[in-house]
Amino acid sequence: MCYANGGYQVNLPPPQIQSLPPYCGHCSDGPVKFIGGVGDFFGIFDIGGEIMSNWKPENRYLAIGAGIIGAVALRKPGLAAKEVQAEGKIIGLGIDADLALHRGTGAITWKEAQWQKAGLTKVDWAKALIDKYHFRSSFREAAENAAGIRFEVTSFNPFYPKPKMTNFEFDHILSNPGLLQKTTFIKNGNQVVWDGTQFISK
């Protein structure tokens, strides 16, 4: 390449172009994640999720409530849908009194080792049944592996003074944008969203 200026000519070598290595999922697994995608070309939800996941726990409910409402407003695929329609298995969450409300929806609850039978978790059912640590591990695996999460909140109180396992599940979902994106909250048969203080109708 040649450039002339004031009678002088400078010869520059052509730029060296290096080919990129093949895509490596392992090498790409780190703090830098793919931003954007179908329905979110500018990565609004990816960036927002990363920010919210680092907020203090006391601000998490309010922050995630804003995220849910924003997702519905912009019609983020999956979250704004009436029900999760992805192929695969959906797990059903809620307090014991609400688990029966999942009947006929296709959602799989933890009862009778259903998560284990469905291949959603490898945690031993007997251990999960009697030990909180193992149950939480089985829930985290099932939530991660499931195509969707149906969370019955008809009788659920997020601010119950003595938090139990359902409160742990709720907090874990709010703390993980990827799980929240595939979660549908149901109250009295209707889909609702969490605004940071309560569940409200869409």
CA nearest 80: which of 70, 89, 66, 88? 70
Cα(92)–Cα(107) distance, integer angstroms: 5
Structural contact between residues 153 and 121, judged by C-beta atoms closer than 8 angstroms: no
- Give me the torsion for CA of 166, 47, 67, 78, rounded to 10°: -80
Instruction: Identify the band that residue 6 occupies on the pLDDT scale cut at 50, 70 and 90.
Output: low
Beta strands 148-152 and 183-187 are parallel
What is the reported pLDDT for 39? Answer: 44
Residue 154 backbone dihedrals phi, psi, to 5 degrees:
-55, -45
Instruction: Identify the band that residue 180 occupies on the pLDDT scale cut at 50, 70 and 90.
Output: very high
Mean pLDDT of 5-29: 46
Cα(58)–Cα(103) distance, integer angstroms: 34
Q: Which residue did the predictor score with more confidence, 57 or 167? A: 167
Report how far Cα 87 is from the mean position of its chain's Cα atoms.
16
Q: What residue segments make up the domains of the chain, in order of their start?
A: 44-201
The one-letter code for the residue type at 18 is: Q
Given a cut of 60, whether residue 82 has pLDDT beyond it is: no
Mean pLDDT of 75-80: 40
Instruction: Identify the band that residue 68 occupies on the pLDDT scale cut at 50, 70 and 90.
Output: low
Tell me the CA distances in angstroms from 122 to 118, 137, 145, 198, one per residue in order.
10, 9, 11, 34
Ranges of H-type helices in 7-99 = 44-53, 57-73, 96-99
Cα(8)–Cα(69) distance, integer angstroms: 63
What is the reported pLDDT for 3? Answer: 45
